[in-house]
C-alpha cells in the first residue's frame, strides 16, 4: 500500500511529461481528438451488453501480435465480444483494421480513479495483456474487481529482469495479481519465476509471432507491387530503420549499386514522423527516390522506394528478394525488431549485431542458417551481393525459413487453452 502510494505520487509528478509525449503532434501520427478523455477513465459504454474479453496492446507491435489471438477467439466463439485497448493512436490504427471484430478504447492512465471509471463502463470478464505491459495501480484495481489477469506472449529479457530485480518490492506488487503468464521461451519463464511468480502460473507456449497469417490478399499485393517495381531487378528492403541507421543502409546500397547497378532499395523508417526526413536524406544523398504514397511510376532510374505508408510492411517485404531488419545497427540503443515477418514470407533475412529484444528467436534463426548477421554497412553490402549472385544459396535460405516457421507454429492454440481455463 505504501509503495503504491509513493509510486502514484511519482506518476502524478511525471504525468505532464508523459502526456505531452503521448499527445505531441507528429507528422503521420493519428490525432486523439476528443478521445483523449478515455485516458482518464471517461470511457464510452460498449455497444454490446455482454461482458467482453479485454485485450490490452499498448502500441503497434503489441497490436499486431494480438491480431492472431483476436481472430482465434472470434472463430472459437463469434458471439463473445472482444474489447481491445491501446495507449497510442498508432496502435489504435492497427486495431481499426479489424473492423467490427472488436471494439476499441484507449487505455486509462495508471491512476486508480481512471482504471475504475474504465472498468465500470466496460465490465470485462477477463484481462489479457500482450507481452509485458504491467502497471501497479491497473493490476491492483483490476484484481480488486475480481477480474483474472493473464499476460500473453510474455517476454522478459536479461536486461529487463535485472531492472525489475533492483525494484523487487514493486515487482512483487505486480506479480501477485497475475493468474497466468504465457511466456515465449523457457528463458523468459525462468526469469519470471526467479522474480517470484509462482511456477504453476508460468507456462512456455512459444511466440504468437510464429503464427503469422500470410493471406492470399497479402501474397497478391506483394506480387502486384513487385510487378510495379520491376520483376527482373534485384530488390531488397530495409524494414523498421531508426535515425542513425538510415545512413548506414544508404551507404550499403551505394556500394551495392557499384556491383549491381539495377538494384532497388525499399526503405521503411520505423516511425511515421521520420518519413519526410528520411526522404530528404535520400535526396541529399543523391539517390533517385520515390515515395510509395506519391503513387509515382517506378522507372529503371529509381534507386530508392520509400515505404511511407502504415500497415503495409508484409506487402513491401513480399515485393522484395532480401530483407534487412532495422533497429539492429545502433549498438544497444534499440535491440532489433521482429524478424519473423520476412521469415514467414520465406525471404532471406539479414540483421545487425544488436537484437536483444528478440534474442531467443534470432539466435535460433542464426543456428538454423536462416538469418545472417551484418555488423556494418560493408558487411551488409557483402551479404546482399552473396545472396543476389548465388541463386542456390538464396533458395536454401528460403527453404530454411519455411521449415523453421512450420516447425514453430502453434502458440495461439496453446494460448486459447490457457484462456479457456480461466
Query: What per-residue confidence (pLDDT) applies to 191?
Result: 94
Which percentage of the chain shows pLDDT scores above 70? 100
Query: What per-residue confidence (pLDDT) applies to 103?
Result: 94
Among residues 300, 298, 309, the alpha carbon closest in space to that of 225 is found at 298
Query: What per-residue confidence (pLDDT) applies to 27?
Result: 62
Are 142 and 123 in contact by the 8 Å Cβ rule? The answer is: no
Query: What per-residue confidence (pLDDT) applies to 33?
Result: 86
Query: What per-residue confidence (pLDDT) applies to 22?
Result: 87
- pLDDT higher for 421 or 95? 95
Q: Whole-number mean pLDDT of the chain?
A: 92
Are 57 and 66 in contact by the 8 Å Cβ rule? The answer is: yes
Taking only the tens place, the pLDDT of each residue in 284-326 is: 999 999 999 999 999 999 999 999 998 899 999 999 999 999 9
DSSP string, 14-71: HHHHHHHHHH---TTPPP-GGGGGGGGT-PPPPSS-SPPEEEE--SHHHHHHHHHHHH
Measured CA to CA, the distance from residue 267 to residue 291 in angstroms comes to 10
Query: What per-residue confidence (pLDDT) applies to 408?
Result: 87
Given 27, 38, 62, 213, the catalytic residue? 62
Domains in the chain, start-ordered, CATH in brackets?
Answer: 25-212+410-421 (3.40.50.11720), 216-408 (3.40.50.2000)
Query: What per-residue confidence (pLDDT) applies to 213?
Result: 79
Torsion angle (degrees, nearest 10) of CA 121, 127, 128, 130: 60
Taking only the tens place, the pLDDT of each residue in 3-62 is: 788 888 888 898 888 888 888 887 667 888 889 999 999 998 888 778 999 999 988 778
Query: What per-residue confidence (pLDDT) applies to 28?
Result: 62
Q: How far is CA 154 from CA 129, 134, 358, 369, in A?
A: 9, 11, 12, 26
The average pLDDT across 372-380 equals 96
The average pLDDT across 94-123 equals 93
Per-residue pLDDT band at 65 (split at 50, 70, 90): confident
Instruction: Read off the pTM.
Output: 0.70
Look up 379 and say whether it is catalytic: no
Q: At residue 415, does pLDDT exceed 70?
A: yes
Are 322 and 350 in contact by the 8 Å Cβ rule? The answer is: yes
Per-residue pLDDT band at 117 (split at 50, 70, 90): very high
Q: At residue 1, does pLDDT exceed 80?
A: no
Amino acid at each position: 500500500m505504501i509503495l503504491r502510494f509513493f509510486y502514484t505520487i511519482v506518476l502524478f509528478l511525471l504525468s505532464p511529461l508523459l502526456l505531452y509525449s503521448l499527445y505531441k503532434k507528429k507528422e503521420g501520427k493519428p490525432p486523439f481528438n476528443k478521445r483523449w478523455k478515455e485516458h482518464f477513465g471517461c470511457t464510452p459504454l460498449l455497444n454490446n451488453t455482454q461482458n467482453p474479453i479485454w485485450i490490452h496492446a499498448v502500441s503497434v507491435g503489441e497490436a499486431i501480435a494480438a491480431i492472431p489471438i483476436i481472430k482465434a477467439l472470434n472463430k472459437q466463439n463469434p458471439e463473445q465480444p472482444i474489447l481491445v485497448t491501446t495507449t497510442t493512436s498508432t496502435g489504435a490504427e492497427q486495431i481499426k483494421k479489424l473492423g467490427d471484430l472488436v471494439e476499441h478504447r484507449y487505455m486509462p492512465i495508471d491512476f486508480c480513479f481512471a482504471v475504475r471509471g474504465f472498468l465500470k463502463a466496460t465490465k470485462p470478464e477477463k484481462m489479457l495483456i500482450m507481452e509485458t505491459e504491467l502497471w501497479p495501480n491497473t493490476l491492483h484495481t483490476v484484481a480488486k474487481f475480481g477480474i483474472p489477469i493473464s499476460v500473453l506472449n510474455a517476454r522478459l529479457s536479461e536486461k529487463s529482469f535485472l531492472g525489475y530485480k533492483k525494484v523487487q518490492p514493486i515487482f512483487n506488487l505486480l506479480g501477485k495479481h497475475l493468474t497466468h503468464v504465457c511466456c515465449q521461451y523457457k528463458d523468459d519463464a525462468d526469469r519470471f519465476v526467479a522474480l517470484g511468480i509462482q511456477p504453476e502460473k508460468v507456462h512456455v507456449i512459444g511466440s504468437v509471432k510464429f503464427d503469422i497469417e500470410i493471406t492470399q490478399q497479402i501474397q497478391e499485393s506483394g506480387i502486384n507491387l513487385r510487378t510495379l517495381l520491376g520483376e527482373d531487378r534485384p530488390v531488397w528492403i530495409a524494414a523498421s530503420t531508426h535515425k542513425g541507421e538510415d545512413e548506414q543502409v544508404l551507404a550499403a546500397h551505394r556500394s551495392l549499386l557499384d556491383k549491381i547497378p539495377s538494384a532497388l532499395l525499399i526503405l521503411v523508417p520505423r516511425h511515421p514522423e521520420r518519413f519526410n526526413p528520411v526522404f530528404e536524406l535520400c535526396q541529399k544523398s543523391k539517390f533517385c527516390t520515390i515515395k510509395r504514397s506519391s503513387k509515382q511510376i517506378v522507372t529503371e532510374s529509381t534507386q530508392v522506394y520509400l515505404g511511407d505508408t502504415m500497415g503495409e510492411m508484409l506487402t513491401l517485404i513480399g515485393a522484395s528478394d532480401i530483407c534487412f531488419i532495422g533497429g539492429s545497427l545502433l549498438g544497444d540503443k534499440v535491440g532489433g525488431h521482429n524478424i519473423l515477418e520476412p521469415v514467414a514470407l520465406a525471404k532471406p533475412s539479414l540483421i545487425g549485431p544488436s537484437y536483444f529484444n528478440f534474442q531467443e528467436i534470432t539466435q535460433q534463426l542464426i543456428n538454423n542458417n536462416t538469418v545472417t548477421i551484418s555488423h556494418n554497412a560493408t558487411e551488409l553490402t557483402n551479404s546482399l551481393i552473396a545472396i543476389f549472385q548465388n541463386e542456390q544459396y538464396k533458395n536454401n535460405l528460403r527453404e530454411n525459413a519455411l521449415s523453421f516457421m512450420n516447425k514453430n507454429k502453434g502458440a495461439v492454440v496453446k494460448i486459447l487453452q490457457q484462456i479457456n481455463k480461466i
